[in-house]
Amino acid sequence: MRILWRPFGFSRRLLKVENCRITESESLIPLTWTSLIQRLSRAPRIFLLGQRKRFSTMPETETNQRDSELFSPPSDVRGMTKLDRTAFKKTVTIPVLKARKEIVSKLMRSLKRAALQRPGIKRVIEDPEDEESRLIMLDPYKMFTDDSFEKAELSILRQLNVNPQISNYNLELTYENFKSEEILRAVLPEGQDVTSGFSRVGHIAHLNLRDHQLPFKHLIGQVMIDKNPGITSAVNKINIIDNTYRNFQMEVLSGEENMTTKVRENNYTYEFDFSKVYWNPRLSTEHSRITELLKPGDVLFDVFAGVGPFAIPVAKKNCTVFANDLNPESHKWLLHNCKLNKVDQKVKVFNLDGKDFLQGPVREELMQQLGPLSKERKHSVHIVMNLPAKAIEFLSAFKSLLDGQPCSHELLPTVHCYSFSKDANPAKDVQRRAGAVLGISLEACSSVHLVRNVAPNKEMLCITFQIPAAILYKNQTLNLENYEEPPLKRQRTDESLSEEKTQIASIT
């Protein structure tokens, strides 16, 4: 999932012409075009040309800032906590060009620069005084008089016999015409941040509201439903994920209370009760990354499988999958999703504690996979441990897990263990903590992948390494001199990890 709201600020730019100034009211609501032109006409002609050029080449961000001024909701909605859509009516004056209806289509192709570019507002409307004509909405920040047209535009107007005279039209805006950001900026206290995390999970909008937004929570939820087609329920997380089953308590802000939803991720379908299982749409790329590491015939042990976002794509690659989750609801939906995606014959599903899973089914299967006949096998064994808050603690289950003679080095299982870090050097922090649990140093024999920025100064990372035989097998002596770095991606330097962190933070 991606984040759908963005910071939305603006700065007013006051144009100075000699000793006169365009007032804010004139720049925000262009009701007095004549007055505006009179003031601009006092300046030398070269200034008007330069100003016109600047308007026509204004960057998109500045256009958005201007639109937030002209197309902002009425000021009296400030402080509203219960949504009243009728209170958002507002009239603005827009410049228009009159043209015969039969030439409008051809004319519009030549007026892309001059035409109004506002989503949700028709650029061509009927002329209330002449049914054979149409009115073309023009950009109020570019078009003031017939002199505002560029030469090429005037040439087209002459060819089509269109009078370049610009007139004004009073356009009524309603709730439907405003964007969600504009509505919330107008409603919430002035100066307060209106941004909020918004993840889409099927028909559910999952928000992370901040304290100052809570008095407006029901209004915010309804706005999210109104402004996002397909969203029928808006919920707010009201606690962190700290329980045994990795789900969080949530409050329905608006809409239906049905939390059973369906999502598509990487061409696979998942169904589940969002209130009872863990699902994070921001991990789609990570699910794909791990899936691409495995080849047909490989074996995957998914220790904390959830509803199957690792297990199901890997099983589709004709791999053998052992998937486990302690949460009974996750276990139920994992079975359901395996059938839904037609991989139920390739996935063995368990409902155990992670440690019991590792020391039970995983141990038994590894004894067979890495036994005397293992030299004949060409496939790899992978173990995914996606429980970032605690997964590193479960690494201790690998100590002396297997009996007998060690297998060859290249057949040793590869572990992908997830963790959070608030350390200044998160990669080394994760290596240090994982190594401390195993009783070895992992700095020279592991790779660390930055998954995403979870919060300010908090990263989610994945450390990947092969378990040394001296750790995995009983009665073995660890010889680090003979322990070579596994054929994984090269260990990332602090500089490359920092660069990736900056890139991810910029789009989160």
Per the annotation, does 208 bind a ligand?
A: no
Is 147 annotated as belonging to a binding site?
no
Instruction: Kindly state the DSSP code that residue 129 receives in the 8-state scheme.
Output: T
Q: Which two tokens mark 456? A: 């300010």
Provide the sign of the torsion angle of the four alpha carbons 448, 424, 429, 196, taken in this order.
negative
Sign of the Cα pseudo-torsion (407, 325, 420, 234, in order):
positive
Q: Which residues, 6+ apart, have CB-to-CB distance to 328 below 8 Å?
A: 351
What amino acid is encoded at 48 in this protein? Answer: L
Is 170 marked within a binding site? no
Name the pairing type of β-strands 260-265 and 268-273. Answer: antiparallel
Start-end of H helices in 209-304: 217-227, 284-293
Determine whether the annotation assigns residue 386 to a binding site. Answer: yes
Sheet holding 197-201, edge to edge: 197-201, 204-208, 233-237, 250-255
HEC sequence for 428-475: HHHHHHHHHHHCCCCCCCCEEEEEEEEECCEEEEEEEEECCHHHHECC
Please tell me whether 354 is known to bind a ligand. yes
- Strands 458-466 vs 204-208: parallel, antiparallel or unpaired: unpaired
Q: Which residue ranges are tagged as binding site? A: 287, 325-326, 353-354, 386
Q: Which residue ranges are tagged as binding site for S-adenosyl-L-methionine? A: 287, 325-326, 353-354, 386
